[in-house]
Amino acid sequence: MNRLQQPVATLAGIGAQTARRFEKLGIRVIQDLLFHLPARYEDRTRLTPIGSLAAGMTAMIAGKVEFADVLPRGRKSLIVRIADDTGFISLKFFHYSASQLHAFAPGALVSCYGEVRYGYAGLEMTHPDYRIVADTDGFSLETRLTPVYPLTEGLGQTVIRKAVKQALALCEYDARLLTDWIPEPLLHELRFPTLQEALQTLHTPGEPAASAALQNGSHPALKRLAFEELLSHYLSLRSAKSKIQSCRAPVLAGDPAAADRFVRRLPFPLTGAQRRVITEIADSCRKIQPMMRLVQGDVGSGKTVVAAYAALLAVSSGYQAAVMAPTELLAEQHYRNFSAWFSHFDIQVVLLTGQTKGRQRQEILEALKSGTAPIAVGTHALFQDGVEFDRLGLCIIDEQHRFGVHQRLALREKGRQSSIRPHQLVMTATPIPRTLAMLQYSDLDISVIDELPPGRKPIVTSVIPADRRHEVIARINGWVAQKKQAYWVCTLIEESEALQCEAAEKTAEMLTEALSGVRIALIHGRMKAAEKDVAMQAFKQHQIDLLVATTVIEVGVDVPNAGLMIIENPERLGLSQLHQLRGRVGRGDSDSYCLLMYQPPLSEMARRRLGILRDSNDGFVIAEKDLELRGPGEVLGTRQTGAVHFKIADLARDADLLDNIQQIGERFFNEVPDAVQPLCDRWLGASIHYAEV
Ligand SMILES: Nc1ncnc2c1ncn2[C@@H]1O[C@H](COP(=O)(O)OP(=O)(O)OP(=O)(O)O)[C@@H](O)[C@H]1O
């Protein structure tokens, strides 16, 4: 067995208890130590004159004790004043022993390292790392930067440093233990050090001059590791794609006459972009390899009809189609749309959500298993155990980012009863900037619906403080008098759904009181599915004028006559989420408005972010700007259950690396195929199963 794959307990000085503590840091085998990088570095290589210290600096100093005393002010503490030729500083200890007090005898020489702050009597260091030395010759300054590792309880720096040192020594002794999977010419081209050199530098940085680059993450040693990690994520999805492509899929040639009839019976002509994307889908579905395609289309661009067309392709080829939506509300809406569109075709559409129970559920399960139900619409309940399809030919997943990479991969397993895999279509309204898309979606081909249906007017967005609420309420009155409908969205901190619902209830009460002639309904996540459906249908049929809602209406809800939306506390939501919410209006051909009603005072950042939304209606532009403002981690990471997590790479800090990943990833995939799996294993380990799909 490779020595680096042996448990850390096989190293000198690590017993069973210490090994358990290492495990808390995710360190099990010796190799894990090598990738447990310092969180920061301390420069103990030179002394800073005390007179040149300033608050906020972290420094190594040395001086003579002038006095040491226990001061009873507030919490009792030991104060030691030391001085050199240039100035003095106080050292402060809240916990101390009698022997410590004794050791700090006036005249003793002390060296210490710590952070400088302003205290009661000027500059001070609290609990510095210190040493008392006999004379100035006793100072031993470090020759290298000192690595400081992330810790866990009971595990100190010294133990980690010693363990890492042993791991490094093993690699040095036998370079074959740790294979560098990145070929030398590529390293050369990218001007990266070898893996061995990189790890050596990061754990034992020689040059104090390298300190700044190491701290801010621009050092080539760190870049190399971050690059390797990003590359492995790309490659894992990429190899999942190629494995899928080696499977067989049903050929969904479709029936041109049925497709024609479907398009002719729609109440609108398809846009050019819809037609193009439909052709791309049809071309892929005609192939014997499973399609894996992402359809990106801005809010309201008309993705549902594209999904329905794809479902018809499957059904008219003798296969079933499954459509998975992220919320019950949306599943319900798709179900109604699909049922209406397919009513001319005698195609049965069934709805399966968590709420489908008892006999009804049993009947639906049987219809899916026997194949008598060709189209199933539902939530993730569609893909739980116990749901079987007779001939599943196509999976359509709406709003993919809510499900995450893992669920997407799990879903492909559904068609596995036979050796045939279903085609897969993923629909998303969340525009993800290109560089990030390839980390999330490198297993998918991408189609973009980059055109809105004709006649859409841009939504006029205003940013107003909540103390102008009365004006807003008056505006609703006038709006409703014109036979138009509106949304009032209550947002709160997202984790607290209960609070959000409560706020919506209170707001609905307040508005009912203030707007006596207006028909108001409430919809929130804690209502039963049937209640939500009743409210939603009443709103659709214009029996309701104003819908007070939580963010449950964020995705998909489509009521073209509703052209006014008030969003409370917009400063608390991400820009993409706000854009999605706002996308509930502007779906008809009349003017529409969105009022972002913030709680003053607004921070500078929030002001800029809301300004972006006010100035643009284009989801891609908004996502790019959000990326600039908040960094990729936030943009990708918000609310994503399956967002990719990195050990070393930091998407904000390493954004420069992303440009190259796809191109190099493709080369790597083709030129060094044998290295793909081990590289993915190194970084993704057993926790991610991309490559096993
Ligand atoms: N080509 C078209 N011409 C006119 N109206 C269209 C066209 N395609 C779709 N629509 C209508 O536009 C509205 C939005 O379509 P749909 O709900 O499919 O959008 P979407 O892309 O799913 O949006 P979201 O991401 O916001 O859910 C619907 O009312 C739909 O009937």
CA of 465 to the centre of ligand 1 (A): 32
φ/ψ of 243, rounded to 5, equals -65, -40
Residue found by looking up tokens 């279903």 in the block? 422
C-alpha to C-alpha distance for 562 and 538, rounded to whole angstroms: 13
| Strands 146-148 vs 392-398: parallel, antiparallel or unpaired | unpaired
Q: Residue 21 carries which side chain, given as an amino acid letter? A: R
CA–CA separation, 635 and 612 (whole Å): 15
User: Going by DSSP bridges, is the β-strand pair 88-93/77-83 parallel, antiparallel, or unpaired?
Assistant: antiparallel
The closest alpha carbon to 569, from 560, 578, 580, belongs to: 578
Backbone angles phi, psi at 683, to 5 degrees: -95, -35
pLDDT of residue 662: 87
- Please give the average pLDDT of every successive group of 10 residues along the chain, which has 693 residues: 90 92 92 92 88 91 91 79 94 86 89 89 89 72 84 87 94 89 92 93 80 82 93 87 84 93 93 97 94 88 94 96 88 91 90 88 93 93 84 86 57 56 86 71 85 88 93 92 93 65 84 91 85 88 93 76 93 84 85 93 89 91 77 48 66 80 92 91 60 30
CA of 585 to the centre of ligand 1 (A): 12
Pocket test for ligand 1, best of 265, 301, 618 (most atoms within 8 A of CB): 301
271 lines ligand 1 (CB under 6 A): yes
Q: Which CATH architecture has domain 460-616?
A: 3-Layer(aba) Sandwich (3.40)
Q: Are 510 and 569 in contact (CB under 8 A)?
A: no
> Which pLDDT score is estimated for 691?
30
307 lines ligand 1 (CB under 6 A): no
Cα distance between residue 458 and residue 614, in whole Å: 11
Please, which residues bridge with residue 349 across strands? 375
Tokens in use for 354?
A: 């968590």
ipTM score of complex:
0.98
Number of helices (H) and strands (E), helices first, in the chain? 24, 21
Two tokens, residue 19? 């090994």
Q: What is the pLDDT of residue 84?
A: 92
Tokens 């009521």 appear where? Answer: 559
What's the pLDDT score for residue 631? 60
| Structural domain boundaries in the chain | 3-41+148-216, 46-141, 256-449, 460-616
pLDDT of residue 641: 35
* Cα–Cα distance for residue pair 669/667, rounded to 1 Å: 5
For residue 449, the ligand 1 atom closest to its alpha carbon is: 21
Q: What does residue 117 show for φ and ψ, rounded to 5 degrees?
A: -135, 165
State the residue for tokens 């026997």: 370
556 Cβ closer than 6 Å to some ligand 1 atom: yes
Mutation to probe ligand 1, out of 296, 553, 587, 592 (largest number of atoms < 8 A from CB) = 587
The token pair at 206 is 């020689």
Q: What are phi and psi of 247, to 5 degrees?
A: -85, 175
Tell me, what amino acid is at 208? P
| Burial class of residue 551, CB neighbours in 10 A (0-12, 13-18, 19+) | buried
The pair phi, psi for residue 324, each rounded to 5°, is -110, 125
- Verify whether ligand 1 is closer than 6 Å to residue 193 (CB atom): no
pTM for the predicted model, two decimal places: 0.71
- Decide yes or no: CATH 1.10.10.10 for domain 46-141: no
Residue 337 Cα: closest atom of ligand 1: 31
CB 567 within 8 A of CB 597: yes
**CB atoms inside a 10 Å sphere around CB 230:** 25
Common-topology check for domains 46-141 and 460-616: no
User: By the 8 A CB rule, do 548 and 573 touch?
Assistant: no
Return the pLDDT at 122: 87
pLDDT for 236: 86
CATH of the domain spanning 256-449:
3.40.50.300
For tokens 């889908």, what's the residue? 281
CA 534, CA 634: separation in Å to the nearest integer? 36
Q: What is the DSSP track for 254-293?
A: --HHHHHHHHHHSSSPPPHHHHHHHHHHHHHHTSSSPPEE
Tokens (6 digits) for 199:
């790890």
Among protein residues, the one whose CA lies closest to atom 15 of ligand 1: 302
Q: What is the dihedral of CA 668, 670, 673, 677, to 10 degrees?
A: 60
User: Which 3 state secondary structure label does DSSP give 564?
Assistant: strand
DSSP string, 225-254: HHHHHHHHHHHHHHHHHHHHHTSB------
| Ligand 1 mean position, distance from CA 302 (Å) | 3
Per the DSSP assignment, residues forming a β-bridge with 65 are 82
Q: According to the model, what pLDDT value does residue 63 have?
A: 92
